[in-house]
């Protein structure tokens, strides 16, 4: 962590490094995999209030030691040891060190070891959340940060991470209460140290996640990066901000640099693959999809993107099914059911698709409604469309500013034959999240609007939206339009024929 504060050193992220814990690989192999010249290895042994830390800096290619030391200290000296190691490594590598960098390295994060331990536990949980996107894990991380702050109310890094955890939850529930909690933590941290890189990062994340104010977010994130130029998380966040701004070249460049600094973090690799898919850069997309699953064979989103890629580029259902078989033993059963149901749908095996969704313990109202409609079971289709409507009504009370809730309303009303309400809600979703505000998720609302227009018989308007999706970065291609049954009512339309043949 301290070494990443030194601008002249490129330091691989801890997320990637921890994957070599207990490895049997040689330093030469590790160095080659990470693309690094030098490796710092060490051990920590704790006995009561004493700690013994050994460290050695080794040239990966030759196994030559260029620095080594052992520290036998009181546990309260742990931060002094971290600073001393960073300074000595910088000296051994002849890295230039600015006075401001030296000051940051020597600054203690907290004087309370209990608070620091709780903060570290929060970090472990937050990293685990990034692997599984499980809300319960995120809430556990948030609780750990809250406890750290309760022990030391001036613990700036813990306050910053607490704010980021709240903002991540705000991305799910979009409530003003959640945003207010994030702001309280940031304001407290800002009051203590407005120059700290973690505070600047949290401030940038607040403007990004809370208000989609991208220019303001970039202002703070750029300042954070100046102080920690090798922080892959800051680089990734900058990439996400540029992505939503629609500045895709900058988004991919920043994310690529984040991946280079954290090469074994599959989530960043997966997000880079997603950016390439959205921009129809198929060769790069395939490379990073494959790499995602190499890093984590249980990454359900990795399989999703890989299956999406073969459909977008080739419309190859056989290839998709082969990937589906790979995923079968590696992912959650409900995730597999969603993938399998989609496979049957694209194969136009509607009964098999419906039976697949029926086996799940999830509701799947939208999918069941559509499949019953395709099979001519109109009464059941209406039942599930109405169930979707009720679900949307419950969601809108909790999340009145969430665009996807209104898209859900629109689909439900279209299925129920309530044309005016369907279109109003579809347009409301686009209004809440226009491309000008979110070039990434905004396309999803447009795609739902196109579906709503089809279902209420407004075919030209549906094609207007599909033509737009075909020229902007999105997850639409002529192969997908050709395969997906939801566009069947458009098949004889000259404009749609032109779209899938272009």
Instruction: Report the SS3 class of residue 108.
Output: coil
What is the structure's pLDDT at 43? Answer: 85
**For 384-397, what is each residue's pLDDT tens digit?**
999 999 999 999 99
**Within 10 Å of residue 316's Cβ, how many Cβ atoms?**
16
Which DSSP state fits 112? -
**Within 10 Å of residue 249's Cβ, how many Cβ atoms?**
9
Please give the Cα distance from 478 to 273 (Å, whole number): 20
Decide if pLDDT at 424 tops 70. yes
Q: What pTM value is reported for the model?
A: 0.90
Residue 96 burial by CB count (10 A; 0-12/13-18/19+): exposed, middle or buried? exposed
- The string over 488-501, giving b where at least 16 C-beta atoms fall within 10 Å of a residue's C-beta and e elsewhere, is eebeeeeebeebbe
Read off the pLDDT band of 158 (50, 70, 90). Answer: very high
> Candidates 3.40.50.300, 3.40.50.150, 3.30.530.20, 3.40.50.10070; correct CATH number of 3-106?
3.40.50.10070
Q: 480 vs 43, which has greater pLDDT?
A: 480
Please give the Cα distance from 185 to 160 (Å, whole number): 7
Mean pLDDT of the chain: 94
**For 13-55, what is each residue's pLDDT tens digit?**
887 888 888 888 998 999 899 989 999 988 888 888 888 889 8
Read off the pLDDT band of 105 (50, 70, 90). Answer: confident
- 153, 155, 160, 161 alpha-carbon torsion, rounded to 10°: -100
Residue 402's alpha-carbon distances to 74, 159, 399, 442, in angstroms, are 51, 27, 6, 12
- The highest-level CATH class for domain 363-501 is mainly alpha
Decide if pLDDT at 433 tops 80. yes
* Tokens, residue 334: 């409900």
Which DSSP state fits 362? S
Read off the pLDDT band of 303 (50, 70, 90). Answer: very high
What is the structure's pLDDT at 295? Answer: 94
- 309, 310, 311, 313 alpha-carbon torsion, rounded to 10°: 80
Decide if pLDDT at 239 tops 90. yes
Decide if pLDDT at 159 tops 80. yes
What is the structure's pLDDT at 502? Answer: 81
Please give the Cα distance from 483 to 306 (Å, whole number): 17
Q: 102 vs 304, which has greater pLDDT?
A: 304
Contacts of 483 by beta carbon, 8 Å cutoff, 6+ apart: 311, 315, 317, 346
Query: Residue holding tokens 């970065």?
Result: 473
Domain with CATH 1.25.40.10 in the chain: 113-288, 363-501
What is the structure's pLDDT at 101? Answer: 80
Helix residue spans in 228-347 (DSSP H): 232-245, 248-261, 266-278, 282-295, 300-314, 317-328, 333-346
Of the given ranges (16-25, 244-253, 417-426), which has the lowest mean pLDDT? 16-25
Read off the pLDDT band of 255 (50, 70, 90). Answer: very high
**Within 10 Å of residue 187's Cβ, how many Cβ atoms?**
14
Which percentage of the chain shows pLDDT scores above 90? Answer: 78
Please give the Cα distance from 142 to 131 (Å, whole number): 16
Query: Residue holding tokens 């994310």?
Result: 255
- Crossing angle between the packed helical segments 442-455 and 403-415, to the nearest 10 degrees: 10
Please give the Cα distance from 344 to 89 (Å, whole number): 57
What is the structure's pLDDT at 1? Answer: 57
**For 197-234, what is each residue's pLDDT tens digit?**
999 999 999 999 999 999 999 999 999 999 999 999 99
Q: For the domain 113-288, what is the CATH code? A: 1.25.40.10
**Within 10 Å of residue 50's Cβ, how many Cβ atoms?**
12
Please give the Cα distance from 441 to 159 (Å, whole number): 29
**For 341-383, what is each residue's pLDDT tens digit?**
999 999 999 999 999 999 999 999 999 999 999 999 999 999 9
* Tokens, residue 470: 């075909």
* Tokens, residue 448: 């739902």
Domain with CATH 3.40.50.10070 in the chain: 3-106
Query: Residue holding tokens 């990470």?
Result: 34
As a whole number of Å, the end-to-end CA separation of the chain is 51
* Tokens, residue 251: 């988004």
Half-sphere exposure of 93 (CA within 13 A, CB side): 23
Contact 31, 39 (CB under 8 A): yes
User: Residue 266: which region, alpha, beta or left (left: phi > 0; alpha: psi -120 to 50)?
Assistant: alpha
Please give the Cα distance from 147 to 382 (Å, whole number): 49
Q: 317 vs 6, which has greater pLDDT?
A: 317
What is the structure's pLDDT at 273? Answer: 98
């Amino acid at each position: 962590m301290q070494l990443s504060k030194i601008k002249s050193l490129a330091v691989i992220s801890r997320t990637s490094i921890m994957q070599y814990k207990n490895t049997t690989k040689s330093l030469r192999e590790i160095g080659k995999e990470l693309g690094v010249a030098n490796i710092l290895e060490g051990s920590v042994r704790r006995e009561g209030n004493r700690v013994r830390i050994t460290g050695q800096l080794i040239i990966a290619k030759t196994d030559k030691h260029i620095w080594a030391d052992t520290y036998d200290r009181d546990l309260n000296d742990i931060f002094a040891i971290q600073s001393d190691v960073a300074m000595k490594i910088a000296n051994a590598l002849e890295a230039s060190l600015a006075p401001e960098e030296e000051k940051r390295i020597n600054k203690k994060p907290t004087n309370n070891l209990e608070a620091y331990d709780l903060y570290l536990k929060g970090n472990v949980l937050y990293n685990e959340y990034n692997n599984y996107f499980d809300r319960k894990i995120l809430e556990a991380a948030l609780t750990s940060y809250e406890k750290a702050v309760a022990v030391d109310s001036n613990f700036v890094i813990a306050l910053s991470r607490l704010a980021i955890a709240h903002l991540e939850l705000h991305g799910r529930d979009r409530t003003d209460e959640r945003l207010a909690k994030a702001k309280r933590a940031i304001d407290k941290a800002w009051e203590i140290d407005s120059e700290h890189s973690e505070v600047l990062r949290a401030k940038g994340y607040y403007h990004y996640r809370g208000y989609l104010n991208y220019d303001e977010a970039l202002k703070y994130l750029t300042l954070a990066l100046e102080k920690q130029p090798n922080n892959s998380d800051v680089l990734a966040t900058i990439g996400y901000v540029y992505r939503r701004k629609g500045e895709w070249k900058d988004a991919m460049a920043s994310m690529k640099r984040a991946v280079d600094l954290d090469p074994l973090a599959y989530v960043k690799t997966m997000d880079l693959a997603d950016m390439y898919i959205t921009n129809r850069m198929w060769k790069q997309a395939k490379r990073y999809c494959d790499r995602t699953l190499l890093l984590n064979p249980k990454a359900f989103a990795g399989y999703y993107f890989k299956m999406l890629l073969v459909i977008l580029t080739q419309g190859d259902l056989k290839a998709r099914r082969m990937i589906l078989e790979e995923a079968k033993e590696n992912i959650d059963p409900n995730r597999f059911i969603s993938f399998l149901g989609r496979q049957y749908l694209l194969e136009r095996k509607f009964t098999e698709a419906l039976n697949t969704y029926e086996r799940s313990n999830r509701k799947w109202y939208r999918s069941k409604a559509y499949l019953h409609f395709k099979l001519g079971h109109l009464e059941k289709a209406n039942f599930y469309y109405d169930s979707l409507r009720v679900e949307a009504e419950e969601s809108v009370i909790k999340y009145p500013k969430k665009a996807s809730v209104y898209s859900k309303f629109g689909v439900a009303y279209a299925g129920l034959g309530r044309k005016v309400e369907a279109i109003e809600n579809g347009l409301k979703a686009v209004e809440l999240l226009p491309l000008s505000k979110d070039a990434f998720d905004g396309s999803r609302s447009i795609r739902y609007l196109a579906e709503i227009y089809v279902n209420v018989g407004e075919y030209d308007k549906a094609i207007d939206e599909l033509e737009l999706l075909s020229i902007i970065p999105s997850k639409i291609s002529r192969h997908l339009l050709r395969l997906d049954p939801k566009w069947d009512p458009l098949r004889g339309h000259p404009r749609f024929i032109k779209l899938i043949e272009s």
